[in-house]
């Protein structure tokens, strides 16, 4: 979820987070990236400045902020703050694998607002954000499914469904072979509107979250994730607006629509069929083991 800000507002927010990090140690704020010029698909260009990520030092608080600074070609400068939520962690559930679903939606705004009040009254409230990305997921636990195949072998099998149409795979440079190759234990497919991330949870935890208490549980888990980016969200927003009475057209109602269990199931099933394609390994999965989740 995102908010566009004046340059001065974004700088003020960054200073607030930096001060909170320095005086309490509860959050950590670090900058990354280099100043660069990018060109978007429409042909216009802008200058991107280093970004700043803010997280809680305590593992598992479920909120990450990202503050960006942008300068348009005409010289106008502005900022943006993105807030990413993991609902289960937001409510103190000590699990980085298990799903979040629509039952959390109504409780998120009050919980988020109570957390930011502990930092500063100047941080935007939940109601000020607009939905700009949704990640829909399904977890496959090979042990629960009685699939007696090593998880890395199953990933190799899924990669063989490589007729990905409009999607372009993200490759990594191999210093030994001096070639751009598919990533180990995952494949990541990209378009301007939707990304697909299919990966083995265990190596991801070892790399990014080595202290997570869920690391042992992740050894047999493969996640299929569909990431709706801003253009895809806009596409759904237009359709939803046309079919929704004016008095119901609030950002929160749109959020509830996009994060509903019905939408999650439809999106995951649709893109699984497009990317992986049905096979015995798919149809043999009992419905009760499908764990549809989202993060925003």
Q: How confident is the model at residue 284 (pLDDT cuts 50, 70, 90)?
A: very low
Give residue 279's pLDDT. 58
**Bridge partner list, 140:** 222
Give residue 292's pLDDT. 40
Give residue 216's pLDDT. 87
pLDDT tens, position by position, 83-115: 998 888 888 877 778 778 888 899 999 999 999
Quick one: tokens of 57?
């030092």
For residue 93, give Cα distances in angstroms to 87, 90, 97, 150, 218: 9, 8, 11, 29, 16
Per-chain mean pLDDT for the chain: 87
Quick one: tokens of 270?
């649709």
For residue 295, give Cα distances in angstroms to 28, 76, 126: 21, 32, 15
pLDDT tens, position by position, 120-144: 999 999 999 999 999 999 998 888 8
Q: How confident is the model at residue 221 (pLDDT cuts 50, 70, 90)?
A: very high
Q: How confident is the model at residue 205 (pLDDT cuts 50, 70, 90)?
A: confident
pLDDT at 296 over 80: no
For residue 242, give Cα distances in angstroms to 10, 234, 237, 238, 255: 33, 12, 9, 6, 16
């Amino acid at each position: 979820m995102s908010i566009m800000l004046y340059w001065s507002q974004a700088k003020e927010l960054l200073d607030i987070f930096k001060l909170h990090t320095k005086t309490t140690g509860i959050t950590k704020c670090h900058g990354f990236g280099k100043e660069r010029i990018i060109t978007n698909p429409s042909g216009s260009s802008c200058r991107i400045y280093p970004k700043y990520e803010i997280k809680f030092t305590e593992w598992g608080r479920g909120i990450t902020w990202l503050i960006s600074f942008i300068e348009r070609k005409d010289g106008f400068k502005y900022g943006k703050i993105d807030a990413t939520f993991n609902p289960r962690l937001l409510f103190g559930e000590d699990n980085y694998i298990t799903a979040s679903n629509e039952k959390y939606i109504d409780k998120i705004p009050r919980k988020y607002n109570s957390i930011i009040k502990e930092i500063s009254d100047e941080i935007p409230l939940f109601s000020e954000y607009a939905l700009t990305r949704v990640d829909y997921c399904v977890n496959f636990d090979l042990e629960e499914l009685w699939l007696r195949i090593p998880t890395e072998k199953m990933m190799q099998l899924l990669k063989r469904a490589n007729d990905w149409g409009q999607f372009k795979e993200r490759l990594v440079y191999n210093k030994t072979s001096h070639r751009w190759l598919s990533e180990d234990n995952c494949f990541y497919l990209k378009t301007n509107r939707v990304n697909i991330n299919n990966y083995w949870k265990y190596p991801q935890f070892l790399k990014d979250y080595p202290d997570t208490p869920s690391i042992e549980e992740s050894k047999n888990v493969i996640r299929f994730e569909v990431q709706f980016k801003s253009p895809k969200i806009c596409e759904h927003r237009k359709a939803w607006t046309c079919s929704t009475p004016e008095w119901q057209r609030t950002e929160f109602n749109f959020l509830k629509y996009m994060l509903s269990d019905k939408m999650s199931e439809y999106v995951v099933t649709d893109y699984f069929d497009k990317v992986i394609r049905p096979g015995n390994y798919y149809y043999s999965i009992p419905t009760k083991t499908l764990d549809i989740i989202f993060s925003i």
